[in-house]
C-alpha cells in the first residue's frame, strides 16, 4: 500500500511535547502532531490505532481528511476556513499575521466535532481540538497538535459544531454573516452542495431525495444560485455559461 506524502517517516523524532501530552490522555482520546516546516505528520499516539484501526505509519493529514464523513466534509472545511480567516485578521500565531507583528507564544484553540471513518468502515463521532504544541524561540509555531476525543456515545445528532476560544470570534462570525446576508454575493454551503450534485449529473428530484428536502426547496436553491451568478459574475467567474444553462 502506497503511503501519503505526509505520513510519519520511520526516522522521525517524536516531539517531546506531544509525547508528554499523549501520556495524559484517556483511552477515548488520541493525539496527532504536525510539523509545520516539513509539512507532515510527525507523531500519532498509540490510542489512534486502537480507536480508528489505522496503523501508526499510515497516519497522515490526508488520511484524516479523507476519513471525514462526506456529509460533514464541506462543513468541516468551511469552519476551518473561517477560523483561519479570523486568525489571519487578528494576527494570531501561525496564521500569517500582519507584517511586523510581534509573535507571541500564546495561542488559541479551534474545536470542531464530526464523524470520522474507521479502518473497518464504521464511523465515530469525534471532537477535535487544534492548537500549537511547540514554538520557536521567536514565538513562531513549529508543531501543531490535533487532539481527538471519541464522543460517539455522547452526541446523537448529525450537526457539526465548531468554536474558537477567542472572545471576539462569535461577534466576528455574526457580523460576517450579516454582511453576507446583505450582499448575498456568496453561495451558501447548501447551495455549493446542490451545485456540486448537479454538476455530477443528479436530477433535482434525486438531490431532494438524497438531502431529505423537498423538490421545491431544491428548485429555490437553483434559482438563488443562478441569481448570485448573474449578479456577481466577477466573483463567480469559475462558473461558466454552461452551468448557467444547467441551472436555468
Q: Return d(Cα 81, Cα 12) in angstroms, integer.
A: 29
The pLDDT assigned to 101 comes to 36
2 within some domain: no
Q: Please check whether residues 110 and 199 belong to one and the same domain.
A: no
Please check whether residue 135 is in contact with residue 104, taking contact to mean a CB–CB distance below 8 angstroms.
no
Most confident of 15-19, 29-33, 222-226, 240-244: 29-33
CATH for 198: 1.10.10
Measured between its terminal Cα atoms, the distance across the chain in Å is 45
Tell me, yes or no, if the pTM score tops 0.85.
Answer: no
Question: Residue 33 contacts by C-beta under 8 Å, 6 or more apart in sequence?
Answer: 14, 15, 17, 18, 41, 42, 43, 44, 133, 143, 144, 145, 146
The pLDDT assigned to 116 comes to 97
Please check whether residue 164 is in contact with residue 144, taking contact to mean a CB–CB distance below 8 angstroms.
no
Q: Please check whether residues 172 and 219 belong to one and the same domain.
A: no
Q: Please check whether residues 70 and 152 belong to one and the same domain.
A: yes
Tell whether the model's pLDDT for residue 46 goes beyond 80.
yes
CATH for 123: 3.30.450.20
In the chain, the number of structural domains is 2
The residue ranking higher by pLDDT, 120 or 91, is: 120
pLDDT in tens, 58-82: 888 889 999 999 999 988 888 888 8
pLDDT in tens, 195-209: 888 888 888 888 888
Q: Which domain, by its residues, includes 172?
A: 16-178
Q: For the chain, what is the mean pLDDT?
A: 79
Phi, psi of 5 (to 5 degrees): -65, -20
Last residue of a domain, one of 128, 146, 178: 178
Other CB atoms closer than 10 Å to residue 120's CB: what's the count? 7
Q: Please check whether residues 72 and 165 belong to one and the same domain.
A: yes
Amino acid at each position: 500500500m502506497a503511503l501519503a506524502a505526509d505520513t510519519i517517516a520511520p526516522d522521525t523524532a517524536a516531539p517531546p511535547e506531544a509525547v508528554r501530552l499523549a501520556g495524559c490522555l484517556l483511552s477515548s482520546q488520541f493525539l496527532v502532531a504536525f510539523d509545520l516546516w516539513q509539512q507532515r505528520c510527525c507523531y500519532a499516539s498509540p490510542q489512534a490505532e486502537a480507536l480508528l484501526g489505522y496503523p501508526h505509519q499510515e497516519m497522515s493529514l490526508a488520511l484524516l481528511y479523507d476519513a471525514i464523513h462526506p456529509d460533514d466534509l464541506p462543513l468541516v472545511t468551511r469552519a476551518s476556513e473561517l477560523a483561519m480567516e479570523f486568525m489571519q485578521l487578528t494576527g494570531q500565531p501561525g496564521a500569517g499575521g500582519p507584517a511586523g507583528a510581534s509573535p507571541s507564544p500564546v495561542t488559541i484553540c479551534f474545536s470542531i466535532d464530526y464523524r470520522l471513518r474507521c479502518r473497518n468502515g464504521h464511523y465515530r463521532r469525534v471532537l477535535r481540538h487544534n492548537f500549537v504544541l511547540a514554538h520557536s524561540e521567536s514565538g513562531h509555531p513549529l508543531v501543531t497538535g490535533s487532539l481527538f476525543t471519541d464522543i460517539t456515545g455522547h452526541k446523537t445528532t448529525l450537526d457539526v459544531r465548531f468554536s474558537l476560544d477567542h472572545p471576539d470570534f462569535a461577534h466576528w462570525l455574526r457580523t460576517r454573516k450579516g454582511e453576507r446576508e446583505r450582499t448575498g454575493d456568496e453561495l451558501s454551503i447548501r447551495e455549493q452542495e446542490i451545485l456540486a450534485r448537479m454538476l455530477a449529473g443528479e436530477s433535482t428530484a434525486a438531490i431532494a431525495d438524497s438531502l431529505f428536502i423537498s423538490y421545491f426547496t431544491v428548485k429555490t436553491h437553483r434559482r438563488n444560485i443562478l441569481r448570485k451568478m448573474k449578479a456577481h459574475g466577477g466573483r463567480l467567474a469559475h462558473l461558466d455559461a454552461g452551468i448557467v444553462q444547467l441551472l436555468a
